[in-house]
Structures are given as structure tokens and as C-alpha cells.
Amino acid sequence: MSFLNVFFGPGGKPEINLANICSAGADPVFTGTQLANCQFLASDIKTCQAAGKIVTISLGGASGGGTFANNTQAASFADQIWDIFLGGTSSTRPFGAAVLDGVDLDIETGSQSFVPFVSRLRTHMNGASKKYYITAAPQCPYPDSALGTTLNSVSFDALYVQFYNNPCGLTHYNDGSYTWNFGVWDYWARNTSPNKNVKVYIGAPGGKSGASSGYVPLEALQTIVKDTARNFPSFGGIMLWDASQANMNGGLDKAIKATLNGGKTCGGTYTYQALPLLSTLLDLRSPMEGTNGTLGITHQELQWGVTTAMPGGLSSLAHLARATVDEQDDFLLPTKHRSSGRFKYLRQGDATNLWR
């Protein structure tokens, strides 16, 4: 449910805006606060949970959220979220006796660490009798500018990566630009994330007006889903923004669910070769030229070279690095040779022979 859009409102309580479902502007609020009383939703939430659906509250949004003065305030806010929405107790519970299943972080501005907040929530959740979830919705450019540090520092159960309103969006899938980068997030999930079992979801617009860019019609989305599920072990499913858009778009949500239910997953057998010298990977911020035997490849050629052998150039591991190569250093890249299709490690002296 989206969004908890104000962290610290009147009375020290957060505020929620569930659009036309429930908000402070249209529904009663708890005395001395702007926290909407949405307890009429409690039975609906319980019905969904009884059907096996996970119901969480999303914090932030495109223009929502807040900042913490210090780590103590971040931890205290986690305590408040636990009491108001999850397994704690409070006289100001917007959904009454309904206990949500977790929290989602859709933080799209700033760069503040949410590590103290997530860590305190995990402490509460780990001592609970039921399973709780912590998820996030980063933008597809890696690393995410708002949550990058947090994602690398604490455990998340799933990421709903926003492959829309971004240059790495769904419309660039298999278009020759090598900007569609689900593979980068898959690599992150299985090699960098504190939780190596984290699932990565494709975030897609539910309809043409669901985002400024990134919308693809159902048939194209089905192809992307099938290819991604087949090739990336961390793939978890599809996130649609938003439910109403998908419903009005011919029931796209039901159609893509049918595709997911009828597909097959990778099974976790694919293994990336390690990148042991990330500090010495090539600088991708501009095209590089070379003469007299020096390295002379374009930005796009290098991206092709380190694109893992997935259909449609699904991932470019080159995006994981922003460094330059010293002429005296060796560098290691998992590289697909054009003639053999095999992966091999390259030393500095081999670089000029890569694309022959």
C-alpha cells in the first residue's frame, strides 16, 4: 500500500496517503495528528492475508518521505512503524487490529543511510512469531542514488527495481543500446547483497500513463519476463505501478500473472565469473581510443564485451565499475570472445586482441 509519505507530521506521527482509498484529506484523522484513520480497511487486509497475499506499507514515493537527524531518531522511527503498522501496539493504528506483513522503502530523493532504521526493524521482526518482510524499490541505474549504501549494508527480502522513467527502462530491452540492466541487479543480488537469496522484481508501468517512459505492451512484457525468469536466478516476478493502471489496461496484471505461473525459472544454475579487481576496471564514462597497440575500444564495445551471455544483452557488468586501468596493472573481465563464445580472463596485454 502506497504511501506513507510524511515521516514526522503533527503530533510526531507519520502521515499516509492511499490516494482515493484513504487519506487525511478525505477521511478522519487521529486527534492531534494528520495520520488518517483507515481502520475500515482492516477486514480487507485480513482477507488478502488469508488468501496468501503479503500486504506491506511503502514509505516515501516520488516526493514523499523524510530525513533523520541522527541514528537515534532513525531507530526510534522504526520503533514507531513497528507499533503503528506491524507487530507492536499503539492507540493510533491506521488499520486497527490488522497487522501488516512488512515495510517497503521507495526512497527517491536524498542519499541518507537507512541502515539504522532497517536494522532496528529487523531486530523487532527477528523476535516475532510471524514472518515479516523488508523490501525496496530502487531506480534501475546502479547503484541507486538514494538507497545504494543501505542496500549494500543490510538485508532485504526483495527489490522492486523501477525499470521505468529511467535510461535503463523496459523499452531498451534488446534494442542494441545495452542499457537494459537487470543482469547488474542479479549480479548484485547474488554477490553483493547481504542476503544472497534476495529476489529482484521487474518494476513496470501498469499502463501507458503509469510512467513518463518505460511502458511496453503485454506481449513485449511477456517476452521479457520469460527470458529473465529463464536466465537469472534472482528473478522474483513483476511489480506493476500501479494496480489501478494495470486493471484499466485490459487486466494486464492478471495476464502477466498467468505468464509467470506458466513459466519456468532458472533453477539457480548460472554462475557469473568473479570480478576480483573492480578497482582496476575500465572507465566507462566516455569512449576510449588507443593507437600503436594500446587499448582502443568504444564505450558500447566494452559494454558488449562484458555483457553476460544472456538473450538480448540483458546485463552489462561494466556498469558495476567506475575506475581507470593503469598501464602496468592486469585487469580481469568476464568477457565473451566473438569467435568462440567462451568466457576468459584477460590480462592487460591481451586487451587489444579481444575484438579481432
In terms of C-beta density within 10 A (0-12 exposed, 13-18 middle, 19 or more buried), how is residue 147 classed? buried
Distance from C-alpha of 114 to C-alpha of 146, rounded to nearest angstrom? 9
pLDDT value at position 64?
87
The arithmetic mean of pLDDT across residues 275-289, rounded, is 34
pLDDT tens digit string along 128-151? Answer: 999 999 999 999 999 999 999 999
Cell, residue 56: 506491506
Q: What percent of the chain has pLDDT over 70?
A: 74
Q: Which of 10-24, 57-71, 221-235 has the lowest mean pLDDT?
A: 57-71
Integer Cα distance of 237 and 239 in angstroms: 7
In this prediction, residues 335-343 reach a mean pLDDT of 30
Residue 226: left (phi > 0), alpha (psi -120 to 50), or beta?
alpha
- pTM recorded for the entire structure: 0.78
What's the confidence (pLDDT) of residue 328?
Answer: 30
Whether the CA torsion 270, 273, 275, 276 is positive or negative: it is positive
Confidence band (pLDDT; 50, 70, 90) for 63? confident
DSSP 119-178: HHHHHHHHTSSS--EEEE--BSSSS-TTTHHHHHHS--SEEEEE-SSSTTSGGGTTSSS-
Which residues, other chains included, contact 340 with Cβ-Cβ below 8 Å and sequence gap of 6+? none
- Residue 290's pLDDT band (boundaries 50, 70, 90)? very low
Q: Quick check: is 108 catalytic? A: yes
- Which of the residues 15, 108, 289, 327 is marked catalytic? 108
Mean model confidence pLDDT for the chain: 80
- Asked whether the predicted pLDDT for residue 53 surpasses 90, the reply is yes
d(CA 193, CA 150): 10
Q: Count of alpha carbons within 13 Å of 203, Cβ hemisphere only?
A: 25
pLDDT tens profile 89-102: 999 999 999 999 99
CA distances from 165 to 29, 219, 247, 303 (A): 34, 20, 21, 22
Q: How far apart are CA 75 and CA 57, in angstroms?
A: 18
Task: Let me know the angle formed at the C-alpha of 197 by 196 and 199, rounded to the nearest 5 degrees.
Answer: 115
Tell me how many degrees the CA angle 210-21-89 measures, rounded to the nearest 5.
Answer: 120
Residue 264 confidence class, pLDDT cut points 50, 70, 90: low
Lowest mean pLDDT among 73-77, 82-86, 109-113: 109-113
pLDDT digits (tens, 9 = 90+) for 102-119: 999 999 998 889 999 999
Grade residue 55 by pLDDT with cuts at 50, 70 and 90: very high
185 pLDDT higher than 50: yes
**pLDDT confidence of 262, banded at 50, 70, 90?**
confident
Give the confidence band of 320 by pLDDT, cuts at 50, 70, 90.
Answer: very low
